[in-house]
């Protein structure tokens, strides 16, 4: 939440600088970048709200917690980016044929500031988002990364126009179009990632293998027959089928299942909970360890 709040403050400042200086300098590409940063304020606010709501504990109506709100926030960020990029592109295309004085080179300094600030924010958000498993914060990090590219494109377009206004007056407007297209593509990418979580796409093979290994290491486990997992916000909920000695009592097999659940939750912070189902093993364990699942 602290990272998202810092992103809102930085994007707000950059939006004011780029729109104000870009308007005064007469640069379409700088104003387009400023409008994009203004959209970032809205996107980061959505991320902040999503993270806050996702942190609420489970209740009677939401036994799996409120994590999907955070995923929905990521989806909304993608939609905001795609729509904002479309608006920037359309407006820039409309200005290509307009006759007007060339832009001033003073529009370059807020773009340079934006590149530096956004690079810092993208690195912090991406590292934090991946550490806590936040889809919306990672989406916001990619948004900042694209802002760097957008600002660089806008800066290049502005400098080309200023270098020879008689020949390249429209380059500044084309730079605005390019900024919009990049933002649209980023929005579509973010929407895709959030949608995969919403439709219960299985996690990576590495995470599933780690979960199997942790379960297999609990005494009494012969093997892991089935393992399914789905992401609910910042963490995963898993369904796991264990194979145990068929001669075990119900109480003994229940104790093994409980031990597996506790071991996975203790050793894998990315897993919120595990529903363990116990099944009779198909054959006794081989010497030296449990049989393959």
pLDDT digits (tens, 9 = 90+) for 168-225: 767 767 777 887 887 788 788 888 888 888 888 888 888 889 999 999 889 988 888 8
> pLDDT: is 101 or 219 the higher one?
219
Q: Where does the chain have alpha helices with state H?
A: 2-25, 28-54, 67-95, 108-132, 135-163, 165-168, 171-198, 205-216, 250-267
Asked if 202 and 237 touch (Cβ cutoff 8 Å), the reply is no
* Interatomic CA distance for residues 237 and 227, integer angstroms: 11
Tokens of 228: 């399914």
Q: What is the CB-side half-sphere exposure of residue 179 using CA atoms within 13 A?
A: 36
pLDDT of 23 reads: 82
In the chain, what is the straight-line distance between the N-terminal and C-terminal CA atoms, in Å? 41
pLDDT digits (tens, 9 = 90+) for 39-49: 778 777 877 78
Helix (H) or strand (E) holding 239: strand 235-244
138: nearest Cα among 192, 205, 100, 94:
192
Domain spanning 2-198, CATH architecture: Up-down Bundle (1.20)
Q: Sign (positive/negative) of CA torsion 147, 148, 150, 155?
A: positive
> pLDDT: is 289 or 171 the higher one?
171
Sequence spans of domains, the chain: 2-198, 205-280
pLDDT for residue 92 is more than 80: no
Helix (H) or strand (E) holding 275: strand 271-280
pLDDT of 128 reads: 85
CATH of the domain spanning 205-280: 3.30.70.1350
* Interatomic CA distance for residues 68 and 100, integer angstroms: 49
* Interatomic CA distance for residues 114 and 106, integer angstroms: 14
Provide the pLDDT confidence category of residue 252 given band limits of 50, 70 and 90: very high
Provide the pLDDT confidence category of residue 98 given band limits of 50, 70 and 90: low
Asked if 275 and 239 touch (Cβ cutoff 8 Å), the reply is yes
Over residues 146-175, mean pLDDT: 77
Residue that is written with structure tokens 């592109």 in the block: 89
pLDDT digits (tens, 9 = 90+) for 273-287: 898 999 888 765 554
Residue that is written with structure tokens 């194979």 in the block: 243
């Amino acid at each position: 939440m602290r990272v998202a709040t810092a992103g809102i403050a930085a994007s707000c400042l950059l939006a004011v600088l780029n729109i104000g200086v870009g308007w005064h300098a007469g640069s379409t590409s700088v104003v387009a970048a400023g409008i994009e940063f203004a959209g970032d304020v809205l996107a980061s606010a959505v991320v902040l709200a999503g993270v806050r709501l996702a942190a609420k504990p489970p209740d009677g109506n939401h036994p799996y917690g409120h994590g999907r709100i955070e995923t929905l926030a990521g989806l909304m960020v993608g939609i905001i980016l795609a729509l904002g990029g479309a608006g920037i592109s359309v407006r820039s295309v409309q200005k290509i044929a307009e006759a007007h004085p060339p832009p001033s080179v003073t529009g370059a300094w807020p773009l340079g500031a934006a590149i530096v600030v956004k690079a810092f924010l993208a690195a912090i958000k991406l590292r934090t988002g991946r550490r806590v498993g936040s889809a919306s914060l990672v989406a916001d990090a990619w948004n900042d990364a694209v802002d760097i590219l957008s600002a660089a494109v806008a800066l290049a377009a502005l400098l080309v126009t200023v270098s020879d206004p008689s020949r390249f007056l429209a380059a500044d407007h084309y730079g605005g179009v390019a900024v919009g297209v990049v933002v649209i593509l980023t929005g579509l990418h973010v929407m895709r990632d959030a949608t995969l979580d919403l439709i219960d796409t299985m996690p990576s093979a590495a995470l599933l293998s780690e979960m199997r290994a942790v379960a297999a290491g609990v005494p009494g486990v012969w093997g892991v027959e089935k393992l399914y997992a789905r992401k609910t916000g910042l963490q995963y909920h898993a369904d796991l089928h264990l194979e145990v000695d068929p001669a075990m009592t119900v109480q003994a097999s229940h104790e093994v299942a409980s031990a597996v659940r506790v071991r996975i939750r203790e050793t894998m912070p990315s897993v919120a909970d595990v529903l363990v189902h116990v099944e009779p093993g198909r054959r006794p364990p081989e010497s030296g360890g449990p049989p393959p699942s």
